[in-house]
């Protein structure tokens, strides 16, 4: 054993209390680092598996929106009103997919939002009475009324994903119209409506999108429970694609032109208020002639609304419109390569669409993993700085106590580099030993947490846990990384005390002793 | 004439702004021009504006055309028929344009709002409280506000807008029930009609400027017939509201029922 190591071991054992203080700090550090990373890994893996296996596949293709990133949840934009773009040149995109040998299967999709409404058949008086006597505690959390609607292509979707287990009814079949609802959500809706609901009953859903609101009465085709223990929200419901297209405003005639009179938009043209209130725009008086007197004419209004041809066309589902393509790769480990290839093909064909991984598809859910990681990293960084300062302080005290020893070593010919090595060895040995203890404790803590099967009580915890239960796990990389990180902390902490020690002149040091 | 593409963004908000908020402000007093304006006279103007915006025992109906502009996008157009009965806190709105939403209607009575979609032939119900929680609309956008009750006059000055000399009334909110903490009204001197209104946030930022360049006289009262709303936060976003067929004649009670929304769509 080199002499520096031997002296280092001797010093560690001679200064037991100081070594223990530093050691406990380092062990705690590696414990927190490893356990924390095991949480983040579990969260990331849990959400990744939930989404890629159940909803997004390995690769996700969407249109491009100038308003913000596009995910399964729509466009993440300021104000949240941006329309989810439709994949342009859909047939060409399908051709690209069918040519790529790495693509195993794919399916078209679209998503939208809706809210279930109660008692649509009641008159005003009846509804107001019903509202007046409302004392249902579930009203305080009305999130169960909300639907995140998955419009799927039943010919390919159910063979690609086995995310749902039917508890009643049937899956959505080609040509059928209706909803496949989460069983738990339907229970809550039944309680709210004060009547049992099941297959064959209908729900009145109000869909809302950037192009307005639509109401449809939809039969319940089936109920499901989610396979596995994923972190997906229970408000996910499946609906036939044409109904989804209408609710989400994906209709053929939504680009109609309207002819306006000049006076209906002239103010928008005016450069400023001086022109608007000048003489040119309205002449001398801004008070116009009184409108002709006429009594309320219901027949006239009826006549204006009678022609519904344009409306019917505008509310016809655009059968070629899809917002997303979800793709399963033959070899999921080569997903990144496949994404690159697909993006290159889309670019070469000049198609305004982009391929991404599950995290792009999961949108806010995917980002939550990054947010958790950033918060954790900042916390660890702050903790490390505090640890370094405490360890450094303890080292400084230790160095001052050993001034005479250092002076003697220097006096009998020890070079500065020898003293440096001595302290480096001491700190590395100490850090390594206690970091390993901390890492072993981390294994114990993680094993204990897994055995406790802590259940996620709310959606935020479900994201944090990456599933229904807390199931952290330690990778070799994180285990070794935690130890290496704490050794680095120990090493950095010793640099300043050593420089203090080396500033002391040997003669002075021996005199002080 | 010009061709426009319809889009319904913020349309409902603008409708509610126009029917619930702007009209009560835009009453007009036939007061002679004042050589200088004292605080009491300014307060009188505010209370006159409040009084003249109401139609006791009468109803209000009109055809609103809302054209909105956003940078980089086509103009969006919404046309609605509006029926109002303030005495019972009722209104009915029928969408006439765009075609995709034609015939859709909103019916409000007190805090309840029903939405009707003629393509699904169904109603949905919600309460005003729910809506306000999740939108940028404010309480006063849906209920008539009272200038003299909700605001104090901080400062009175003079200016001119175009060819019109105006009083500038700088108002501060008395309570937090109003959408804006500070409001500056530019009131025409010779006929005491509002030509311009500026709305400021609590931290003093100009949020919205509204111009009232055109009025019509209905049964002795002046009502704005054209309004320009300029969003001062999102540059380039503005909307013109044109009100036609304005009347304060009594409406049949059935206009404020669910059955009416169904019947006109038959």
Q: Do B109 and A282 touch (CB under 8 A)?
A: no
Mean pLDDT of A490-512: 77
Distance CA(B211)–CA(B213), nearest Å, equals 6
A98: left (phi over 0), alpha (psi -120 to 50) or beta: alpha
pLDDT at residue B59 in the model: 86
Do A147 and A273 have their domain in common?
no
Distance CA(B212)–CA(A56), nearest Å, equals 51
B31 and chain A in contact, CB less than 8 A = no
Residue A282 lies in a domain: yes
Do A96 and A215 have their domain in common?
yes
Q: Do A212 and B61 touch (CB under 8 A)?
A: no
Do A332 and A431 have their domain in common?
no
| Nearest Cβ partner for A211 among B8, B123, B242 | B8
Q: Which residue has the higher pLDDT, A322 or A459?
A: A322
**Number of CB atoms found within 10 A of residue B98's CB:** 28
User: A85 is written with which tokens?
Assistant: 């773009």
Listed range (A335-344, B50-59, B80-89) with the worst mean pLDDT: B50-59
Do A77 and A217 have their domain in common?
yes
Distance CA(A466)–CA(A368), nearest Å, equals 11
Q: Which residues 6+ apart lie within 8 Å of A121 measured at CB?
A: none
pLDDT at residue A279 in the model: 60
pLDDT at residue B132 in the model: 42
To which residue do tokens 């119900």 refer? B125
B229 and chain A in contact, CB less than 8 A = no
Listed range (A208-212, A262-266, A281-285, A496-500) with the worst mean pLDDT: A281-285
pLDDT at residue B144 in the model: 55
Residue A191 lies in a domain: yes
**Number of CB atoms found within 10 A of residue A93's CB:** 23
Nearest CA in chain A to B130: A142
Q: How far is A125 from chain B (nearest CA, A)?
A: 10
Q: Do B161 and A217 touch (CB under 8 A)?
A: no
For residues A424 and A494, the answer to whether their CB atoms sit within 8 Å is yes
pLDDT above 70 coverage of chain B, percent: 78
| Cα separation values, A3 from A7, A115, A415, A421, A422, Å | 6, 75, 14, 10, 9
Going by C-alpha positions, the residue among A360, A322, A345, A326 that lies closest to residue A88 is: A322
| Residues pairing with A62 in the sheet | A324, A354
Do A96 and A120 have their domain in common?
yes
Nearest CA in chain B to A309: B99
Do A21 and A87 have their domain in common?
no
pLDDT at residue A66 in the model: 84
Do A17 and A80 have their domain in common?
no
Chain CA centroid to CA A20, Å: 42
Q: For residue B72, name the pLDDT band (cuts at 50, 70, 90).
A: confident
Contacts of A260 in chain B (CB under 8 A): 1-4, 65, 67, 77
Distance CA(A139)–CA(B127), nearest Å, equals 12
Distance CA(A388)–CA(A383), nearest Å, equals 9
For residues B45 and B28, the answer to whether their CB atoms sit within 8 Å is no
Q: Do B102 and A124 touch (CB under 8 A)?
A: no
Do A63 and A208 have their domain in common?
yes
Residue A285 lies in a domain: yes
pLDDT at residue A240 in the model: 93
Reduced to 3 states (helix: H, G, I; strand: E, B; else coil), residue B157 is: strand
Task: Give the domain range for residue A167.
Answer: 59-251+320-356
Q: For residue B139, name the pLDDT band (cuts at 50, 70, 90).
A: very low
Distance CA(A37)–CA(A17), nearest Å, equals 30
| Nearest Cβ partner for B247 among A206, A291, A311 | A291
Q: How far is B22 from chain A (nearest CA, A)?
A: 17
Distance CA(A299)–CA(A297), nearest Å, equals 5
Residues A417-435 pLDDT 10s: 888 888 888 888 888 999 9
pLDDT at residue B142 in the model: 44
Mean pLDDT of A29-41: 87
Do A280 and A348 have their domain in common?
no
B166 and chain A in contact, CB less than 8 A = no
pLDDT at residue A129 in the model: 65
A293 and chain B in contact, CB less than 8 A = yes
Q: For residue B133, name the pLDDT band (cuts at 50, 70, 90).
A: very low
Residues A174-193 pLDDT 10s: 989 999 999 989 999 998 88
Q: For residue A223, name the pLDDT band (cuts at 50, 70, 90).
A: very high
Residue A362 lies in a domain: no
Q: A68 pLDDT exceeds 80? A: yes
Do A78 and A204 have their domain in common?
yes
Residue A256 lies in a domain: no
Tally of domains in chain A = 3
A208 and chain B in contact, CB less than 8 A = no
Q: How far is A358 from chain B (nearest CA, A)?
A: 29
A467: left (phi over 0), alpha (psi -120 to 50) or beta: left
Contacts of A269 in chain B (CB under 8 A): none
Q: Which residues 6+ apart lie within 8 Å of A116 measured at CB?
A: A145, A147, A189, A203, A204, A205, A206
Listed range (A488-502, B32-46, B194-208) with the worst mean pLDDT: B32-46
Q: Which of residues 176-195 of B touch A (CB under 8 A)?
A: 195
pLDDT at residue B256 in the model: 92
Mean pLDDT of B217-233: 86
β-pair type (B194-200, B182-188): antiparallel
Look at the alpha carbons of A376, A382, A383, A384 in this order and tell me if their dihedral is positive or negative. Answer: positive
Helices (H), A52-182: 90-99, 124-132, 154-160
Going by C-alpha positions, the residue among A362, A389, A349 that lies closest to residue A493 is: A389
How high is the ipTM of this complex? 0.77
B156 and chain A in contact, CB less than 8 A = no
Helices (H), A137-177: 154-160
Q: Which residue has the higher pLDDT, A281 or A398?
A: A398
| Residues pairing with B250 in the sheet | none
Do A290 and A393 have their domain in common?
no
Q: A136 pLDDT exceeds 70? A: no
Q: Do A206 and B124 touch (CB under 8 A)?
A: yes
Q: Do B94 and A305 touch (CB under 8 A)?
A: yes
Q: A220 pLDDT exceeds 90? A: yes
Residues A45-56 pLDDT 10s: 877 777 788 788
Chain CA centroid to CA B243, Å: 11
A134 and chain B in contact, CB less than 8 A = no
Mean pLDDT of B143-158: 81
Residue A64 lies in a domain: yes
Q: Please give the mean pLDDT across all residues of chain B.
A: 79
User: A503 is written with which tokens?
Assistant: 């500033």
Q: Please give the mean pLDDT across all residues of chain A.
A: 83
Residues B11-24 pLDDT 10s: 554 555 555 444 44
Contacts of B115 in chain A (CB under 8 A): 206, 213, 215
Contacts of B211 in chain A (CB under 8 A): 267, 273, 276-277
Mean pLDDT of B51-79: 82
pLDDT at residue B94 in the model: 92
Q: For residue B134, name the pLDDT band (cuts at 50, 70, 90).
A: very low
| Nearest Cβ partner for A288 among B5, B118, B216 | B216
Residues A332-347 pLDDT 10s: 889 999 999 999 999 9
Do A15 and A153 have their domain in common?
no
β-pair type (A258-260, A287-288): unpaired
């Amino acid at each position: 054993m080199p002499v520096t190591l031997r002296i280092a071991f001797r010093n560690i054992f001679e200064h037991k209390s100081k070594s223990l203080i530093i050691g406990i700090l380092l062990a705690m550090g590696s414990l927190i680092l490893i356990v924390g990373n095991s949480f983040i890994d579990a969260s990331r893996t849990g959400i990744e598996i939930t989404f890629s296996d159940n909803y997004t596949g390995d690769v996700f293709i969407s249109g491009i929106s100038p308003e913000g990133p596009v995910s399964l949840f729509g466009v993440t934009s300021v104000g949240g009103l941006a329309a989810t773009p439709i994949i342009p040149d859909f047939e060409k995109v399908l051709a690209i997919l069918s040519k790529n040998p790495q693509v195993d299967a794919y399916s078209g999709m679209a998503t939208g939002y809706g809210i279930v409404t109660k008692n649509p058949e009641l008159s005003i008086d009846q509804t107001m009475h019903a509202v007046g006597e409302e004392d249902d505690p579930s009203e305080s959390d009305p999130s169960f009324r909300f639907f995140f609607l998955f419009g799927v292509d039943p010919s390919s979707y159910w063979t690609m994903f086995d995310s749902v287990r039917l508890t009643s009814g049937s899956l959505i079949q080609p040509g059928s119209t209706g909803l496949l609802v989460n069983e738990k959500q339907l229970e809550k809706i039944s309680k709210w409506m004060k009547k049992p609901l099941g297959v064959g009953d209908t729900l009145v859903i109000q869909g809302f999108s950037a192009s307005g609101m639509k109401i449809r009465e939809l039969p319940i085709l089936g109920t499901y429970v989610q396979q596995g223990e994923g972190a997906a929200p229970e408000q996910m419901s499946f609906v036939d694609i044409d109904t989804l297209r209408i609710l989400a405003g994906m209709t053929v005639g939504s680009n109609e032109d309207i002819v306006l009179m000049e006076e209906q938009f002239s103010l928008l043209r005016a450069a400023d208020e001086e022109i608007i209130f000048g003489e040119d725009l309205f002449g001398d008086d801004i008070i116009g002639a009184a409108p002709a007197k006429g009594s309320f004419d219901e027949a006239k209004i009826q006549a204006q609304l009678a022609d519904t041809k344009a409306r019917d066309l505008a509310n016809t589902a655009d059968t070629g419109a899809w917002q997303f393509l979800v793709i399963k790769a033959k070899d999921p480990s080569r997903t990144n390569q496949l994404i690159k290839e697909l993006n290159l093909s889309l670019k070469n064909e000049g198609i305004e669409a982009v391929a991404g991984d599950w995290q792009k598809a999961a949108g806010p859910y995917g980002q939550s993993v990054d947010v958790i990681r950033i918060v954790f990293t900042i916390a660890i960084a702050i903790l490390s700085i505090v640890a370094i300062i405490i360890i450094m302080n303890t080292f400084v005290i230790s160095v001052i106590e050993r001034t005479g020893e250092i002076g003697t070593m220097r006096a009998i010919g020890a070079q500065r580099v020898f003293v440096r090595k001595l302290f480096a060895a001491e700190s590395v040995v100490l850090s390594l030993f206690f970091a390993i203890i901390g890492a072993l404790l981390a294994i114990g803590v993680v094993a204990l947490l897994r055995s406790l099967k802590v259940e996620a009580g709310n959606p935020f915890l479900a994201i944090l846990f990456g599933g229904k239960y807390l199931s952290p796990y330690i990778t070799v990389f994180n285990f070794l990384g935690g130890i290496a990180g704490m050794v680095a902390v120990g090493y950095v902490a010793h640099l300043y005390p050593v420089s203090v020690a080396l500033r002391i002149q040997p003669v002075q040091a021996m005199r002080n002793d | 004439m010009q061709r426009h593409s319809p889009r319904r963004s913020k349309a409902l908000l603008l409708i509610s702004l126009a029917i619930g908020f702007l009209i009560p402000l835009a009453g007009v007093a036939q007061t002679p021009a004042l050589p200088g304006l004292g605080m009491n006279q300014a307060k009188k103007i505010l209370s006159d504006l409040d009084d003249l915006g109401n139609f006791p025992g009468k109803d209000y109906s009109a055809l609103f055309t809302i054209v909105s502009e956003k940078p980089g996008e086509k103009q969006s157009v919404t046309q609605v028929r509006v029926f109002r009965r303030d005495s019972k806190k009722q209104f009915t709105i029928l969408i006439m344009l765009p075609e995709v939403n034609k015939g859709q209607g909103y019916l409000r009575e007190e805090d309840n709002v029903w939405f009707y979609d003629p393509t699904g032939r169904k109603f949905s119900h919600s309460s005003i409280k729910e809506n306000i929680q999740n939108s940028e609309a404010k309480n006063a956008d849906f209920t008539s506000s009272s200038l003299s009750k909700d605001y104090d006059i901080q400062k009175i000055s003079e200016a001119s807008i175009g060819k019109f000399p105006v009083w500038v009334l700088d108002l501060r909110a008395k309570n937090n029930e109003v959408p804006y903490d500070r409001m500056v009204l530019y009131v025409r001197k010779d006929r005491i009609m509002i030509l311009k209104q500026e709305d400021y946030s609590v931290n003093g930022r100009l949020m919205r400027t509204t111009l009232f360049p055109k009025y019509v006289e209905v049964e002795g009262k002046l009502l704005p017939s054209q309004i320009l709303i300029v969003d001062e936060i999102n540059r380039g976003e503005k909307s013109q509201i044109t009100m036609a067929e304005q009347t304060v004649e009594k409406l049949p009670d059935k206009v404020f029922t669910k059955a009416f929304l169904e019947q006109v769509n038959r």
